[in-house]
Structure 1
């Protein structure tokens, strides 16, 4: 019985951490954001898409074989300028 209780506590503590990395209420659908990137002249394929630090971090491959990294605001769907 004790191992089950310990496992339940660990699962319960990890759920809030997992839920924290989701886009905010009112965010644009990811499909809308990816469609706008797919429309770029140089787009070939997505390499990775990650929601982290309150932004989408998107990496895609270009026709020239390069990879581009962009950061997109989830609420507006616009690319953020790099600092």
Structure 2
């Protein structure tokens, strides 16, 4: 099965929004391959949006920001927000 390809305009818009959110959350640049980074940016942003909606305290959010590895976000993508917070704080 081939993945669905979005038109360039949609991809560009998605990239712009993601970059703006990363800036607003003051997220560091991820490390990994280009493919890992692209995937992990989306995963990480979903966690930060959930944390923002739940009004998670800033110290907890800061511990999440310390995870610069794209592989770490990919590896833990199926965890709940609470699980990812515990894992991040115990790192």
TM-score by length of 2: 0.29
Which structure would you say has the larger Rg?
1
Query: Which structure is higher in strand share?
Result: 1
TM-score by length of 1: 0.30
